[in-house]
Amino acid sequence: MVSHSELRKLFCSADAVCFDVDSTVIREEGIDELAKFCGVEDAVSEMTRRAMGGAVPFKAALTERLALIQPSREQVQRLIAEHPPHLTPGIRELVSRLQERNVQVFLISGGFRSIVEHVASKLNIPSTNVFANRLKFYFNGEYAGFDEMQPTAESGGKGKVIKLLKEKFHFKKVVMIGDGATDMEACPPADVFIGFGGNVIRQQVKDNSEWYITDFVELLGELEE
């Protein structure tokens, strides 16, 4: 068990900070918003709830939900244009403060790259620092599945991405911040996990996090001290 002051020191001296996106960096769950937009909201949000609770393997849950939604390329583009995701209060300031300190910031999401890249652009995070699932479309724009080779398509995928980042960039201290079970499972290989409950509180994460916050202002405060 690491003491809280040690966790704070680790956070303030991190080489890289990785954020989950849905319900962490943004207020919504991207896949539920896509389902709502495509008219199959209720069935899909029930599946998301089961997946987040860890009851269903991630790839199976993703396959099942996308088979119901069948989003076309046009629908995904229209969703981003007409209902852009809302950034969580404080995230813009936190990311920019980390970047000022030359900390690498990554977005690691089980959501969709097209939506996550839109979020990254709002936070001045380069698309090379985005890891998310790629939707596939036929030449006519119809849904054709998703890229199952992406590490984020698997259970344990976020941990695989962090391991890869450590190997590639030789990061010594990596922090993972997120709301869900898949984020918590990424530590280790992450050195610190900070549970985030500012949009939705997942009891399992709250109960098992050594450091749990409900407002990014708390982390900004740590960096200012």
| Residue-wise DSSP of the chain | ---HHHHHHHHHT-SEEEE-IIIIIBSS-HHHHHHHHTT-HHHHHHHHHHHHTTSS-HHHHHHHHHHHH---HHHHHHHHHHSPPPBPTTHHHHHHHHHHTT-EEEEEEEEEHHHHHHHHHHTT--GGGEEEEPEEE-TTS-EEEE-TTSGGGSTTHHHHHHHHHHHHH--S-EEEEESSHHHHTTTTTSSEEEEE-SS---HHHHHH-SSEES-THHHHHHHH-
- Taking all residues of the chain, what is their mean pLDDT, rounded to a whole number? 86
Residue 221 has pLDDT above 90, yes or no: no
* pLDDT tens readout for residues 110-148: 889 989 999 999 999 999 999 999 999 999 999 999 998
pLDDT category of residue 202 using cuts at 50, 70 and 90: confident
**Is 2-27+85-136+146-221's fold the same as 31-81's?**
no
- In CATH terms, the superfamily for domain 2-27+85-136+146-221 is HAD superfamily/HAD-like (3.40.50.1000)
- Whether residue 179 lies in the annotated active site: no
Percent of the chain having pLDDT more than 70? Answer: 94
pLDDT of residue 53: 62
Q: Where are the domains of the chain?
A: 2-27+85-136+146-221, 31-81
Residue 173 has pLDDT above 80, yes or no: yes
Q: What is the mean pLDDT of residues 192-216?
A: 83
Q: What is the mean pLDDT of residues 62-81?
A: 91
pLDDT of residue 2: 64
Better pLDDT: 167 or 201: 167
Prediction pTM value: 0.88
Residue 20 has pLDDT above 80, yes or no: yes
Judged on CB neighbours under 10 Å (0-12, 13-18, 19+), 64 is middle
Please give the C-alpha separations between residue 175 and each of 28, 29, 147, 168, 186, in angstroms, as whole numbers.
Answer: 22, 22, 27, 16, 10
- Whether residue 20 lies in the annotated active site: yes
**Active-site position among 22, 179, 183, 191:** 22
pLDDT category of residue 192 using cuts at 50, 70 and 90: confident
Dist CA 95 CA 21 (whole Å)? 13
Residue 99 has pLDDT above 80, yes or no: yes
Better pLDDT: 213 or 108: 108
The class (CATH top level) of 31-81 is: mainly alpha
pLDDT category of residue 54 using cuts at 50, 70 and 90: low
